[in-house]
């Protein structure tokens, strides 16, 4: 009893300590967004809110917070391997998902991103990214008890959960939006709402369009209010106005309630858009960074075990800023999507060369030590070609034609391309377009199966495996899109669904094929081959400390444009060199390009378990072959 009490007191006093430590930064951040002379009262409100939110946090999670803080950066471990999924497309609902935890274990997945499970409008709702509540469970997925049971089971199995916090906007059915529509001025002040087109028109001169084909423009007229609402994404997604401090304080409450469900990583959706300013693109603004840091520091006080993922699919040099820079260094997001690597891997597949990949990665500053990436090849969204033109020019290529080539290659506009992707949101005004399609279909499997061409099937499988072996070995948490582990093809069934057919991203959000999975151990097909190889790679990843994201990735110059080579260093002899060939024909490389991972050190390829054969100082790799070379494995 005594012991329990002391523990509880400890937990409370640690809260006080955290508040005291972070107070100055929180105050500075708050008053730099909300000037002190006008907003002293709101700051007081924030200070009374923090202990209230802490009080409501379940005690088991409070203890977990403390364990995590003691343990340090759990999210950088090589033991983490993630999967992303839509609950209803995976196994119906949360109960169904709970039944499949064994499947994750079998593959080696222990970090799961569930796409939104919160209530949303009927009809179109952007896959749940239009939220009617931030912490309730939509009945189609089950109940809050189901979620709590799932999170408990996951914790028992040392699995981590990531859920979204759709911070930039609510749905038009969210209680605040409804009150705004009913004429409540307080809640109209929670959104960017204007009586006429004057300010919207001014905004439109600089705001880009996110969904130009389906939702052109950034404002929607609401007939009931007879006013214009800022809706950067879809008309039913209303952008919150964070220049109102009450929006921040109330959203902090929503964030904490979400965290209190047992979420380990909060994915901050569309966070680059959170601050709007006339005359700008209203993306990546310094105020957005201040705001995110303010959320971070407040959550640090309330729930320090919970980590932020930045969903900033923006230019490479902008993404890295979400780890925090300047006074916010290390005080923004711990994890960010490595959208740069993702987009450039697709560039390398199409060009069969890793040159643009090298150019971009080399130009980026090192990320802060306590931060890590989510490395992925596919997610639920489209693939944007978010790299910079000047790097393309520096290679002697024309940026406009290069981008056009990539869109043509992936979107079935080039005869010889094996990819079966689709164009998403092509904007004739700018010539920009994005790509949809499942990993397997983009990598040629769909076409190869249609043609029943075994050589092409094998080549596509090799590509699927190489791409995954890269995200499994590059520094960060690998995130596999559910279905990719068995090479799932494009799903065209969304075209039959009125609420989905306008959004081509559904083509790469397939249903999990449990019939095939039931045969996975005995099958003699591509699904089995991909699954078992990924299972093997995941097991390997977890057993090598070099794969933990404690060290930066070191790029090796290949002197052969088809190769991508990087080292995950660890001590003198415990590092791993990853070597891959992006060409469709075998390629050779001089041994000296491999540094100390050459023949004199008897290196072994961890994936095959064999020693590579060097011939006259060169090493040959098959098309799309990948090696994980280690110097330290000869028994």
Nearer to ligand GLC, 353 or 422 (CB): 422
CB of residue 626 to ligand GLC, shortest distance in Å:
28
CB of residue 118 to ligand GLC, shortest distance in Å:
12
Which residue is catalytic, options 126, 269, 332, 567? 269
Closest CA to 161 of 147, 171, 173: 147
Nearer to ligand GLC, 119 or 418 (CB): 119
The first and second tokens of residue 120, run together, are 């949303």
Nearer to ligand GLC, 82 or 444 (CB): 82
Q: Distances from the Cα of 628 to the Cαs of 204, 471, 611, 634, in angstroms?
A: 49, 12, 11, 14
CB of residue 237 to ligand GLC, shortest distance in Å:
6
Kindly list the residues in this chain that would bind ligand GLC in the complex (CB under 6 A): 126-127, 129, 166, 233, 269-270, 311, 380-381
Q: Count Cβ atoms below 10 Å from residue 1 Cβ, excluding itself.
A: 5
Sequence-distant contacts of 217-221: CB under 8 A, at least 24 apart: 219/194
Nearer to ligand GLC, 359 or 500 (CB): 500
CB of residue 183 to ligand GLC, shortest distance in Å:
27
Q: How far apart are CA 191 and CA 201, in angstroms?
A: 17
Characterize 507-527 residue by residue with b for buried, 16 or more Cβ atoms within 10 angstroms of its Cβ, and e for exposed. Answer: bbbbbbeeebbeebeebeebb
CB of residue 234 to ligand GLC, shortest distance in Å:
8
Strand partners, 619: 589, 614
Closest CA to 340 of 324, 318, 323: 318
Nearer to ligand GLC, 166 or 377 (CB): 166
Helices (H) and strands (E) in the chain, counts: 22, 23
**Residue 104 CA to chain centroid, in angstroms?**
19
CB of residue 159 to ligand GLC, shortest distance in Å:
22
Closest-CB residue for ligand GLC?
A: 129
Q: Is 269 a catalytic residue?
A: yes
Measure the CA angle with vertex 82, ends 79 and 88; round to 5°.
150
Q: Distances from the Cα of 126 to the Cαs of 72, 184, 206, 493, 632, in angstroms?
A: 36, 27, 24, 17, 49
CB of residue 311 to ligand GLC, shortest distance in Å:
6
Most distant pair of Cα atoms in the chain: their distance? 80
Query: E strand or H helix at 56, and its extent?
Result: helix 36-56
Q: Is 311 a catalytic residue?
A: yes
Q: Do 296 and 308 contact (CB within 8 A), yes or no? A: yes
CB of residue 126 to ligand GLC, shortest distance in Å:
5
Closest CA to 154 of 98, 113, 114: 98
Q: Strand, coil or helix: what is 308?
A: strand
Which residue is catalytic, options 93, 126, 164, 311? 311
Q: Count Cβ atoms below 10 Å from residue 595 Cβ, excluding itself.
A: 15
DSSP 494: G
Nearer to ligand GLC, 348 or 379 (CB): 379
The first and second tokens of residue 339, run together, are 């959208």
DSSP 612: P
Taking only Cα atoms into account, the Rg of the chain, rounded to an integer number of angstroms, comes to: 25
Catalytic residue positions, numbered: 269, 311
């Amino acid at each position: 009893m005594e012991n329990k009490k002391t523990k509880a007191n400890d937990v409370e006093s640690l809260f006080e300590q955290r508040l005291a430590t972070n107070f100055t930064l929180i105050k500075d951040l708050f008053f730099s967004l909300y000037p002190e002379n006008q907003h002293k009262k709101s700051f007081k409100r924030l200070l009374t809110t923090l202990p209230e939110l802490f009080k409501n946090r379940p005690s088991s999670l409070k203890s977990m917070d403390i364990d995590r803080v003691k343990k340090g950066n759990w999210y950088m471990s090589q033991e983490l391997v993630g999967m992303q999924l839509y609950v209803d497309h995976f196994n119906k609902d949360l109960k169904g998902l709970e039944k499949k935890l064994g499947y994750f274990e079998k593959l080696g997945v222990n970090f799961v991103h569930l796409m939104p499970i919160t209530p949303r409008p009927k009809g179109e709702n952007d896959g749940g990214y239009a939220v009617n509540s931030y912490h309730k469970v939509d009945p189609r997925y089950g109940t809050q008890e189901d979620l709590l049971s799932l999170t408990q089971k996951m914790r028992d199995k040392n699995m981590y959960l990531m859920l979204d916090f759709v911070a930039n906007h609510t749905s038009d059915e969210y209680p605040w939006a409804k009150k705004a529509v009913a004429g409540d001025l307080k809640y109209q002040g929670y959104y960017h709402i204007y009586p006429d087109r004057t300010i919207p028109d001014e905004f439109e001169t600089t705001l880009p369009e996110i969904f130009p084909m389906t939702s052109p423009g950034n404002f929607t007229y609401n007939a009931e209010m007879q006013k214009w609402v800022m809706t950067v994404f879809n008309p039913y997604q209303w952008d919150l106005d964070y220049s109102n401090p009450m929006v921040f304080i109330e959203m902090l409450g929503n964030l904490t309630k979400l965290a209190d469900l047992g979420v380990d990583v909060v994915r901050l959706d569309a966070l680059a858009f959170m601050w709007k300013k006339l005359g700008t693109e209203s993306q990546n603004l310094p105020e957005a960074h201040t705001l995110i840091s303010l959320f971070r520091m407040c959550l640090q006080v309330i729930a320090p075990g919970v980590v932020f993922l930045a969903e900033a699919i923006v230019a490479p040099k902008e993404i890295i800023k979400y780890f925090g820079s300047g006074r916010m260094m290390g005080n923004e997001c711990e994890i960010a999507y490595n959208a740069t690597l993702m987009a450039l891997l697709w560039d390398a597949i199409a060009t069969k060369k890793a040159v643009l990949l090298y150019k971009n990665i080399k130009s980026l500053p090192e990320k802060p030590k306590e931060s890590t990436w989510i490395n992925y090849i596919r997610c639920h969204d489209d693939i944007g070609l978010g790299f910079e033109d000047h790097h393309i020019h520096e290679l002697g290529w024309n940026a406009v034609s290069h981008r056009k080539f990539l869109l043509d290659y992936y979107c079935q506009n080039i005869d010889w391309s094996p990819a079966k992707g689709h164009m998403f949101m092509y904007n004739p005004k700018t010539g920009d377009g994005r790509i949809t399609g499942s990993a397997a279909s983009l990598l040629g499997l769909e076409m190869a199966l249609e043609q029943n061409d075994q050589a092409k099937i094998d080549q596509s499988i090799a590509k699927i495996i190489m791409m995954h072996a890269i995200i499994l070995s590059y520094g960060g948490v690998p995130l596999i899109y559910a279905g990719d582990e068995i090479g799932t093809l494009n799903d065209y069934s969304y075209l039959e669904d009125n609420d989905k057919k306008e959004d081509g991203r559904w083509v790469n959000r397939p249903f999990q094929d449990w019939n095939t999975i039931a045969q996975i151990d005995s099958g003699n097909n591509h699904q089995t081959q991909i699954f078992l190889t990924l299972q093997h790679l995941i097991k390997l990843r977890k057993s090598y400390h070099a794969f933990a994201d404690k060290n930066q990735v070191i790029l090796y110059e290949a002197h052969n444009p088809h190769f991508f080579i990087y080292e995950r260093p660890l001590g003198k002899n415990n590092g791993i060199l990853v070597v891959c060939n992006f060409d469709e024909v075998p390629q050779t490389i001089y041994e000296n390009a491999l540094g100390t991972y050459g023949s004199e050190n008897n290196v072994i390829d961890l994936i095959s378990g064999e020693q590579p054969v060097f011939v006259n100082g060169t090493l040959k790799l098959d098309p799309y072959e990948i090696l994980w070379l280690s110097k330290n494995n000869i028994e």
